């Protein structure tokens, strides 16, 4: 089993839709988690940090279920500009190393 697994995608949704991405991790020692966004041929950029049960930032909500070792990212009212690849990132017990999921691609269409 991979250390971090994500929905493979791609997700093709219309503007205004609500979409959710899932991520499972195998290392139960992990304490904090991150969602990064990566645009085509660009560097990853931090979208959200998740330190407890969840975090909300505008249209974006991240939830953590430690018992099931599961993280989700919910995007409400999708915009065309949300089209990107979303990377689930897990530090396995320390922040000097990050383990990245392979990413889920989102395409929002008019």
Partner 1 sequence: NAGVTQTPKFQVLKTGQSMTLQCAQDMNHEYMSWYRQDPGMGLRLIHYSVGAGITDQGEVPNGYNVSRSTTEDFPLRLLSAAPSQTSVYFCASKLGESGRRRSYGYTFGSGTRLTVV
Interacting residue ranges for partner 1, rule: CB under 8 A: 4, 32, 34, 36, 42-46, 49, 87, 89, 91, 94-103
Q: Which is nearer to partner 1, 15 or 57 (CB)?
A: 57
Question: What is the side-by-side strand order in the sheet with 60-65?
Answer: 4-6, 19-25, 70-75, 60-65, 54-57
Closest approach of Cβ 79 to partner 1, in Å? 22
Q: Which is nearer to partner 1, 72 or 104 (CB)?
A: 104
**DSSP string spanning 64-91?**
EETTTTEEEEEE-S--GGG-EEEEEEE-
**CA quadruple 37, 10, 57, 71: dihedral positive or negative?**
negative
Closest approach of Cβ 96 to partner 1, in Å? 5
Closest approach of Cβ 26 to partner 1, in Å? 14
Closest approach of Cβ 49 to partner 1, in Å? 6
Q: Which is nearer to partner 1, 19 or 103 (CB)?
A: 103
Q: What are the tokens at 28?
A: 């139960």
CB 7 within 8 A of CB 24: no
């Amino acid at each position: 089993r991979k250390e971090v697994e994500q929905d493979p995608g791609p997700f093709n949704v219309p503007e205004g839709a609500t979409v959710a991405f899932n991520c499972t991790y195998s290392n139960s020692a992990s304490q904090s988690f991150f969602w990064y966004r990566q645009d085509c041929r660009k560097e990853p950029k931090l979208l959200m940090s998740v330190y407890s049960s969840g975090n909300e930032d505008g249209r974006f909500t991240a939830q953590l279920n430690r018992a099931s070792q599961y993280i989700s990212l919910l995007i409400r009212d999708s915009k065309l500009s949300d089209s990107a690849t979303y990377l689930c990132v897990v530090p396995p017990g320390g922040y000097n190393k990050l383990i990245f999921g392979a990413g889920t691609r989102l395409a929002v269409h008019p």
